[in-house]
Structure 1
């Protein structure tokens, strides 16, 4: 069996990056020269990205990023596909690497829990497990026993937390997301709000799927990703079943597609009239980052 042609590298890294605006053009030029596609979001506080290219091209860009831009090592997650999941290369300037919609000190974070220790933590009776991702992501898969806040956007999570403060009171709060960046912000915010026992999955769902054997896994379903693969399975291979509703752009499981409300290209069980997630339509969705 031949090896997949494209390597998909997903990463974020917080560091002091005051010259980020001046680096937009050089970074885009380097991506273009190497034939790497995807979205690289750069801010004063760091970078957030998912990129795809050949093995040699991804290795070359990550070496350049670490030596010439960051000035030190970064960590990234890899998956593979036999097609290019992005339409073009983009380098986007933003105020924040990921926005929670409220001020966050970013001075301290929850306890990091490695994938090998994650199962023991979330099986505890004194732990509340929160999926910090958007509703259309959770629909494809989540951890057994996790609370789904049913939020359309990460910025809704603080208000959900306030509304459910009694559920969290006196508990250890464990959080997870695709690659870790949303939990970095959310656990920092939780600590700012006075929560004390706060934890998050180191490396996110993608690292868990890579490190934990499927027969030991507490993950159920597939993991939504922000590119044309739509989702990956436990082996980090592109989903064979997940699709997006072309009306509301909700991610759909095989069961959703068997529902009477599903009409290909027109509607699905999650539609509520006007499009809900038009920002994720496949062609526009392909360059979006939310790691």
Structure 2
């Protein structure tokens, strides 16, 4: 049976966010929905998976709060459960930039729909910037996009300070997986004096869902933060898997490397694999193999 994976976020003042945690967690568990939802004073951010009817029930529950009545969700299908349990966490930010004065509830850049995106980013005056982390950019990005080479979103302000100038770069377009990072990044850039800042509404996922492959300017696959690892156009399952040791997405080319060992290491973490780490990874690999055997020979193994 296909499971629905729903990703959503909304910047909206939620001063009572701590009070919402337990009721929301209880409701999601009752619906047998798994995933993670983050709550903060600035809004909500989550990815959950479950049956069609149960996902609809959770989304209806969220939208019953007038502040979340227009909450939008991006959806895809998967055959394997992408999450093992349900978590509702309280945070200081629903996506961590680490700059206290940035408030997307007060100002953000111009939303650009997937249908309008191609025309914008082909404008020679537009600087196109990928706000995701380096390992995400490595497996796919938009043609001509700048890679800030960040390891976390917290480093994005430093990239802006060192590489972009509001007096020179008049038009800047930002994008990310689902729209949340680039939306917050536009708020930061406006506060830094940039005048024309744009961001892809719904992020890469919405673009891949709505823009036909023959019209697309996207190259590669899009990393997602669950056991699917990556998706392609139409939100079909991608070809990448995840290293069991470091969590880096790995391609078929990476798996052909002598530095790759299934369930143990990959070319991105081979140099840091100590004997102690190897021993731990070998034990975990045996546990996974035992678990897969107990599922039956006709079960589809998970990606690791």
What TM-score, normalized by structure 1, do the two folds share? 0.88
SS at match of 1:235: helix
Deviation at 1:69, TM superposition (A): 6.6
- Say whether 1:36 aligns with 2:33: yes
Aligned to 1:116: 115
Q: Distance in 1 between matches of 2:151 and 2:270?
A: 13
Checking the alignment, whether the CA contact within 8 Å between 2:166 and 2:195 is kept in structure 1 is no
Aligned to 2:55: 58
Q: Distance in 1 between matches of 2:49 and 2:56?
A: 11
Determine which of 75, 80, 83 is the counterpart of 2:77. 80
Query: How many residues are aligned here?
Result: 273
Question: 1:34-91, CA deviations, whole angstroms, 9 ceiling, x for partnerless residues?
Answer: 0010001111121100000000000011111101474522111000101211000001
Aligned to 2:134: 135
Checking the alignment, whether the CA contact within 8 Å between 1:143 and 1:220 is kept in structure 2 is yes
Aligned to 1:245: 243
SS at match of 1:119: helix
Checking the alignment, whether the CA contact within 8 Å between 1:12 and 1:181 is kept in structure 2 is yes
Q: Distance in 1 between matches of 2:232 and 2:75?
A: 13
Deviation at 1:197, TM superposition (A): 1.5
Question: 1:270-290, CA deviations, whole angstroms, 9 ceiling, x for partnerless residues?
Answer: 237448xxxxx99xxxxxxxx
Q: Distance in 2 between matches of 1:155 and 1:7?
A: 31
- Say whether 1:214 aligns with 2:213: yes
Checking the alignment, whether the CA contact within 8 Å between 2:4 and 2:52 is kept in structure 1 is yes
Q: 1:21 to 1:254 in 2, by over 3 A?
A: same
Question: 1:123-170, CA deviations, whole angstroms, 9 ceiling, x for partnerless residues?
Answer: 121111111011111122111111111111000111111111259933
Aligned to 1:287: none
Checking the alignment, whether the CA contact within 8 Å between 1:11 and 1:48 is kept in structure 2 is yes
Aligned to 2:179: 180
Checking the alignment, whether the CA contact within 8 Å between 1:139 and 1:253 is kept in structure 2 is no
Determine which of 237, 245, 256 is the counterpart of 2:254. 256
Q: Distance in 2 between matches of 1:194 and 1:166?
A: 9
Aligned to 2:160: 161
What TM-score, normalized by structure 2, do the two folds share? 0.84
Deviation at 1:178, TM superposition (A): 0.6
Deviation at 1:235, TM superposition (A): 1.7
Q: Distance in 1 between matches of 2:103 and 2:55?
A: 33
Q: Distance in 1 between matches of 2:223 and 2:267?
A: 18
Determine which of 263, 266, 269 is the counterpart of 1:265. 263
Aligned to 1:278: none
Q: Bigger relative contact order, structure 1 or 2, given CA contacts below 8 A and separation 6+? A: 1
Q: Distance in 2 between matches of 1:144 and 1:199?
A: 17
Checking the alignment, whether the CA contact within 8 Å between 1:175 and 1:200 is kept in structure 2 is yes
